[in-house]
Amino acid sequence: MLYIYNKNTNPYFNLAAEEYVLKEFREECFMLWRNEPSIIVGKNQNTLAEINLDYVRQHKIPVVRRLSGGGAVFHDLGNLNFTFIVNEDVSSFSDFKRFTQPIIDVLRKLSVNAEFSGRNDITIDGKKISGNAQYYYKNRILHHGTLLFSSSITDLSAALKVRPVKFEDKGVKSVSKRVTNISEHLKEPITIEQFIDLIMNHIREQTGGSEMYEFTQEDIKKIEKLVKEKYSTWEWNFGTSPDYSFKNEKKFTGGTVEVNLNVEKGIIKDIKIYGDFFGKYDVSEVENLLKGVKHSEEEIRKVLSNIDMNDYFANITVDNLIEVMF
């Protein structure tokens, strides 16, 4: 088994690194890693329906889709992620307890009353400290989980804040649960670096291994290629969302605007704009311009910058219309 402490904190790189090790290595692997503030969404989720877009924009938080299913999670440097990659056939898939037990054992050594809960969580006194997910590829199982050690719970709840329903889709919805930090339950305080050492040493003792592996320059080059081609792209993080319908309404100085969208593979297939606003020309001209455009602020802004908004929406700005489209 390879043991990797990946000290890179870029979420695009780290999600790409998991895929790279899964698909390009043959050895089994245990990896620990952390991300700078970011939102990681499940493979089958509608990204826009899972995030507080205003908060994400304001704080410039990266949003990255992972290979595995399950719900959206907020990462920061107070959250430790662990990854097991093992060579086994699909019959072992969904055995979450097996991979979480070593983590629970470490926590119990620290006198923390952690236990496996529900389908894929670790809890302390009924509060969640770890969510887990899995992905299967050619007789290799990737299991990864979060460990809230000293994460900012306020930022977590704000970034994934439940909003009024704007979406109708078949995306897998995240389930909100009460959470807590491991650090709050320790009898003696330790740093997250000490916690990392405890977990890595325990796994190495348990699996009889000693060799730590560091990514080579060639590894890093290939991971960064995967970042560029996949993990940092709009197509992967937003465009692969399940098809959805979106509806939103806002009131501005120039009147009320209601937007109804049908989006397929991230592209606006149909759009209707209603409201009590005034305009010289028919708003259907704007609707036609937006059909076939990505449901992304950048692409919509490009289109709207080529028209005089006052011709269609008196006293309503490009920013106003974009605000109601997300």
What mean pLDDT comes out for the span 77-89? 95
End residue of a domain, out of 171, 203, 238? 238
Q: What is the residue-averaged pLDDT of the chain?
A: 92
Quote the number of domains for the chain: 2
Domain boundary among 188, 218, 238: 238
Q: What's the pLDDT band for 174 if we cut at 50, 70, 90?
A: low
Q: pLDDT category, 119, cuts 50, 70, 90?
A: confident
Residue 289 pLDDT exceeds 90: yes
The pLDDT assigned to 158 comes to: 87
Q: What is the pLDDT of residue 1?
A: 92
In the predicted structure, residue 222 carries a pLDDT above the cut 60: yes
Banded pLDDT at 81 (limits 50, 70, 90): very high
Q: Are both 129 and 268 inside the same structural domain? A: no
Q: Both 162 and 285 in a single domain?
A: no
State whether 76 and 46 are in the same domain.
yes
The pLDDT confidence band at residue 175, using thresholds 50, 70 and 90, is low
Q: Alpha carbon of 261 to those of 204, 267, 316: distances in Å?
A: 52, 10, 19
* Pair 220, 313 in one domain: no
Same domain, 79 and 151: yes
pLDDT for 155? 84
Confidence of residue 27 (pLDDT cuts 50, 70, 90): very high
In terms of domains, do 138 and 284 share one?
A: no
For the chain, what percent of residues have pLDDT higher than 90?
76
Mention every residue, 6+ apart, whose C-beta is less than 8 A from residue 112: 124, 182, 185, 186
pLDDT at position 215, please? 97
Confidence band for 199, pLDDT divided at 50, 70 and 90: very high
Q: What does the pLDDT average to over 261-279?
A: 93
Q: Environment class of residue 276 by beta-carbon count within 10 Å: exposed (0-12), middle (13-18) or buried (19+)?
A: exposed
Tell me, what's the pLDDT at 208?
A: 86
The domain that contains 195 carries what CATH number? Answer: 3.30.930.10
Let me know whether 249 and 211 are in one domain.
Answer: no
- Let me know whether 51 and 181 are in one domain: yes
pTM, full prediction: 0.85
Q: Containing H/E element for 17?
A: helix 11-24
C-alpha distances in Å from residue 210, one per residue of 72, 143, 168, 204: 34, 21, 50, 6
**pLDDT of 210:** 72
Q: Does pLDDT of 190 surpass 90?
A: yes
Q: Of 214, 238, 262, which residue constitutes the final position of a domain?
A: 238
Phi then psi dihedrals of residue 68, to 5 deg: -90, 165
The model's confidence at residue 154, banded by pLDDT at 50, 70 and 90, is confident
Please indicate, yes or no, whether residues 6 and 104 belong to a single structural domain of this protein: yes
How high is the pLDDT of residue 20?
Answer: 98
| Whether pLDDT at 187 is above 80 | yes
Determine which of 142-146, 201-205, 241-245, 285-289 has the lowest per-residue pLDDT on average.
241-245
Q: Which domain holds residue 73?
A: 2-238
State yes or no: pLDDT of 296 exceeds 90: yes
pLDDT at 303: 96
Say what percent of the chain tops pLDDT 70.
Answer: 95
Question: Same domain for 191 and 70?
Answer: yes
Please tell me whether residues 292 and 211 are part of one structural domain.
no
Question: Are residues 232 and 93 both part of a single domain?
Answer: yes
Q: What is the pLDDT of residue 70?
A: 87
DSSP per residue over 81-119, as a string? Answer: EEEEEEE--GGGTT-HHHHHHHHHHHHHHTT--EEEETT
Residue 281's Cβ-count burial label (10 Å; 0-12, 13-18, 19+) is exposed
pLDDT at 92 over 80: no
pLDDT at position 44 is 86
As a dihedral over the C-alpha atoms of residue 275, residue 278, residue 282, residue 284, rounded to 10 degrees, the angle is -30
Q: Which two tokens stand for residue 282?
A: 């028919």
pLDDT confidence tier of residue 163, bands split at 50, 70 and 90: low
